[in-house]
Amino acid sequence: MSTEGEVLAGVRTPSQLFGDVARSVGGILLTDRSTVDLAVGCLLADGHLLIEDLPGLGKTTLAKALAGSLGLGFRRVQFTADLLPADVTGALVLDLDTRRPVFREGPVFTNLLMADELNRASPRAQSALLEAMEERQVTVDGRSLALPDPFLVVATQNPFDAAGTSPLPHGQRDRFLVCLSLGYPDAAQEEQLLAGVDPAERVRDLPPAVTSTDLDRLRAAVAAVHVSATARRYVLRLVAATRDHPAIRVGASPRAALAVVRMAKAMAVADDRTFVTADDVQAVAGPTLAHRILLDPAADAAGRRPEAVVADVVQSVPVPVG
């Protein structure tokens, strides 16, 4: 909650700043507000975002809108079968003047890197992002080079087009804090799209919704949200339930439990609270857990979706009291 002095001085609270960013992104992208809040919350929790959806539904526009609204540097890499790790991280090249090798930075040296169609690259090229995503650094010729702060990856892939793709290993999917799908817009949204300017054009001139100082405040506010013992027990019970569910072969890891907590804290800030509730945990359980579990072959063959199985888990686990 804001203090009276903050209101009088015109200082926006973290919740207001979050809302400003979400409205800025939502004004470009034709999707529901909850999806926008999850995408914004993911980046404010210093997490990486994976978007799985069909072509033409706004994945690239979302990435650009997030970068623009948060005032972040943005670079895009089109992942293809012939992409090399050095095309992402950079490489040593010979300086013609000094005749000495110098490091030429790759596109990973930015604030928000869009890894477009990540699953179309070879496993070797995909792995070039692992160190960057986990350690916020790259190692070249034995030297570790820090990436800009913040450093965030928004990766996209088409889940239904397997031709020429290399599915992301389970360990790499686990590096993404949240996995989202935009889905088709409703009839009113699609009519609005046809009647207005193409969002891909509008996003090019999108001004930042917050300053760099505001962004630092937002990230600090998310990190400072209190998670009670009751909320922690609830998260642990949900994660444990994924390991015992008959439709799940590989359940959620301890990293997944941390992911739920981080995202729940972001949702608390969005709702103008300094503490996590069970509603926050339930709102983020699907986007943070579904891409981390592996279904039993029988459940997979029967067409069950990880999102639906996680929803079953949430329904089956009672909320702790106290």
What is the per-residue pLDDT for 160?
Answer: 65
Q: How far apart are CA 116 and CA 88, in angstroms?
A: 12
Residue 200 has pLDDT above 90, yes or no: no
Residue 81 has pLDDT above 50, yes or no: yes
Q: What fold does the segment set 19-192 form as a domain?
A: Rossmann fold (3.40.50)
The amino acid present at 303, given as its one-letter code, is G
Among 182-191, 242-251, 288-297, the minimum mean pLDDT is found in 182-191
Helix (H, G, I), strand (E, B) or coil at 35: helix
Q: How far apart are CA 39 and CA 25, in angstroms?
A: 9
Helix (H, G, I), strand (E, B) or coil at 92: strand
Q: How far apart are CA 308 and CA 300, in angstroms?
A: 12
Superfamily of domain 225-322: Magnesium chelatase subunit I, C-Terminal domain (1.10.8.80)
What is the per-residue pLDDT for 199?
Answer: 85
Helix (H, G, I), strand (E, B) or coil at 66: helix
What is the maximal distance between C-alpha atoms in the chain?
70
Q: How far apart are CA 241 and CA 212, in angstroms?
A: 40
Q: What value does the mean pLDDT take over residues 238-255?
A: 94
Q: How far apart are CA 295 and CA 289, in angstroms?
A: 12
CB 75 within 8 A of CB 110: yes
Look up tokens 């994924």; give the residue.
242
| Residue among 174, 173, 183 nearest 118 (CA) | 173
User: Of 236-240, 295-299, 300-304, which one has max mean pLDDT?
Assistant: 236-240
What is the per-residue pLDDT for 30?
Answer: 80
| Residue among 266, 256, 322 nearest 294 (CA) | 256
Q: What are 240's two structure tokens?
A: 């444990």
Q: What value does the mean pLDDT take over residues 215-220?
A: 97
What is the per-residue pLDDT for 162?
Answer: 63
pTM of the model: 0.91
Q: How confident is the model at residue 47 (pLDDT cuts 50, 70, 90)?
A: very high
Residue 3 has pLDDT above 60, yes or no: no
Burial class (CB in 10 A: 0-12, 13-18, 19+), 231: buried
Q: How far apart are CA 92 and CA 82, in angstroms?
A: 19
Helix (H, G, I), strand (E, B) or coil at 267: helix
Q: What value does the mean pLDDT take over residues 238-244?
A: 96
Alpha-carbon distances, residue 38 vs 92, 159, 284, 288 (angstroms): 38, 20, 8, 10
Q: What value does the mean pLDDT take over residues 112-134?
A: 89
Greater pLDDT, 202 or 69: 69
Greater pLDDT, 16 or 29: 16
Question: pLDDT tens-digit profile of 156-175?
Answer: 988 766 666 777 888 888 99
Q: How confident is the model at residue 244 (pLDDT cuts 50, 70, 90)?
A: very high
What is the per-residue pLDDT for 320?
Answer: 85
What is the per-residue pLDDT for 4?
Answer: 47
Return the bridge partners of 148, or none: none
Q: How far apart are CA 244 and CA 61, in angstroms?
A: 39
What residue ranges do the domains of the chain occupy?
19-192, 225-322
Q: What value does the mean pLDDT take over residues 84-88?
A: 91
Q: What are 223's two structure tokens?
A: 């990190």
Question: pLDDT tens-digit profile of 135-164?
Answer: 999 988 778 899 999 999 999 988 766 666
**How much of the chain exceeds pLDDT 70, in percent?**
95
Residue 98 has pLDDT above 50, yes or no: yes
